[in-house]
Amino acid sequence: MLKLYKQQWHQIALQDVGEVKFDEPLSRHNSWKIGGSADIFVEPETVDQVVNIVRTINLQAIPLVVIGQGTNLLFDDSGIRGLVMKIGERMANVEISGNSVSAEGGTWVPKLSRLTMQAGLSGLEHCIGIPGTVGGLVMMNGGSQRRGIGENVINVTVVDNLGQVHHLSQEECEFSYRHSALQGTGRIVVSVELNCPKADGRDVRREMLADLQARRNKFPHKQPSCGSVFLSTAEMHASVGPPGKIIEDSGLKGLRIGQAEVSRQHANFIINLGDATAKDVLTLIRQIRATVREQIGFELDCEVRYVSPDGCIYPAHLKAEDSV
Ligand SMILES: Cc1cc2nc3c(=O)[nH]c(=O)nc-3n(C[C@H](O)[C@H](O)[C@H](O)COP(=O)(O)OP(=O)(O)OC[C@H]3O[C@@H](n4cnc5c(N)ncnc54)[C@H](O)[C@@H]3O)c2cc1C
C-alpha cells in the first residue's frame, strides 16, 4: 500500500504548499479523538497554497482528504495512505460589510456567529453551538432547529479537483436537508459569502444564549463525541420520532462496545470513554441499527461520515454494515 515519505514528498512538492507534517496522528484532528495517522498532513494558509497542493497530488495520483475540525468524521484505525488537507485556523479571516459576511473556509462557526451578533446581524443564531468550520458546515448544509447554513449563502468559492477556482451561487450549491451538491465532487471550500439581515444585536444574543443553554442541558460535553451520529429528518420525526428517542426507547442508552458508549445523556451521541477505536464505534453503530430495525422496523442512517484509508468519505453506517 502507498506510504509516502518525507524525501519523496520534497521531491514532488516544488511549489509553496504551507506547513507539511508526516505520519500525523489523526486523533488530534477530530472531536472523537480516534484514528490512525495520515501519511502527509498539510494546513494551507492561502488559496494559492490550496491550488498548489491539488496540482501536486494530481501529478502523483495521491489520495486527498479535505477536513475542517473533524467534528463529523470517523477516521479509520489505520489512518490515511495519502494527504490530509486541513482548512482550519490558518484560513479563517472574516470580513463584514453591511449585510454581507465573507468568511474563509476554516472559520470557526461559533466565532463567526458571535461576530455577526456583535455587528447587529441575524441568521446564524442556530449555528452558535456547532463546533466546526464554515467550510464543513456549508459542505454538510449543517445547522440546528431544522435550519441549514445554505439559507444564508450568497456564494461559495471553491477549488476544484484540477486546481481551478470557481464561484458558485446558492442555486448551484443545491442545498437540501444536511446535503449540498458540493458533496462527493472533490471541491474544496475556501470561502463563503453569507447574507445576514440587520437585527437588534440584543435579540440575537438572547437567542444564541438560549441555544447554548439548551445544548448544555441536552448534550454530553465532557467526553469526546461527534455530535449526532444518526440523521434526523422531518419525515422520520413525523413517523417514528427523533433518533435519540427511538434509540433510547430501544433500551440502548449506556450500551458499550470497547471504549465507545451510547451516551446516557443523549442516545444519539456515541462517546469515547478513553481509548475507543473506529472499530468500537462502527460495531456499536451496527448494533444500534440492528436493534432499532428489530424493535421499531426503522433503518437509521448516519450523519457522521467514515473516512477510509484510501481517502473515500461516506456515511458511517455503510462501513459499519460492510466490514466490522
Ligand atoms: C458536540 C457536537 C455538536 C454538533 N452539533 C451539530 C448541529 O447542531 N448541527 C450540525 O449540522 N452539525 C453538528 N455537529 C456536527 C459538525 O460540527 C458539523 O457537521 C460541522 O459543520 C462540521 O464541520 P467540520 O469543520 O468539523 O467538518 P469535518 O467534520 O472536518 O468535515 C465534514 C465534511 O465536510 C468536508 N469538509 C470540511 N471542510 C471542508 C472544506 N473546507 N472544503 C471541502 N470540504 C470540506 C469533509 O471532507 C467532510 O466530508 C456537531 C458536532 C459535535 C461534535
Higher-pLDDT residue of 118, 233: 118
Q: Which domain holds residue 230?
A: 222-323
Residue 1 lies in a domain: no
Residue 164 has pLDDT above 60, yes or no: yes
Q: Domain count of the chain?
A: 3
Instruction: Clarify whether residues 67 and 124 are in a common domain.
Output: no
CA of 136 from ligand 1 middle (Å) equals: 4
7: pLDDT confidence band, cut at 50, 70 and 90?
A: low
Share of the chain above pLDDT 70, in %: 97
236: pLDDT confidence band, cut at 50, 70 and 90?
A: confident
Q: What is the DSSP string of 213-255?
A: HHHHHHS--SS---S--B---HHHHHHT--HHHHHHHTT-TT-
Instruction: Clarify whether residues 144 and 183 are in a common domain.
Output: yes
Residue 71 has pLDDT above 50, yes or no: yes
CB of residue 70 inside a 6 A radius of ligand 1: yes
Instruction: Clarify whether residues 206 and 99 are in a common domain.
Output: yes
Residue 183 lies in a domain: yes
Out of 174, 195, 216, a domain closes at 216
- Catalytic residue numbers read 178, 228, 303
Summarize the confidence of residues 193-210 as an average pLDDT: 96
Please identify, by atom number, the ligand 1 atom nearest to the C-alpha of residue 183.
49
61: pLDDT confidence band, cut at 50, 70 and 90?
A: confident
CB of residue 64 inside a 6 A radius of ligand 1: no
Identify residue 222 by its one-letter amino acid code: K
Out of 37, 58, 86, a domain closes at 86
For the domain that residue 208 is a member of, what is the CATH number?
A: 3.30.465.10
| This prediction's pTM | 0.95
Instruction: Clarify whether residues 111 and 128 are in a common domain.
Output: yes
Please identify, by atom number, the ligand 1 atom nearest to the C-alpha of residue 149.
11
For the domain that residue 43 is a member of, what is the CATH number?
A: 3.30.43.10
For the domain that residue 304 is a member of, what is the CATH number?
A: 3.90.78.10
Out of 176, 199, 216, a domain closes at 216
Note the pLDDT of residue 1: 43
CA distance 43 to 107: 13
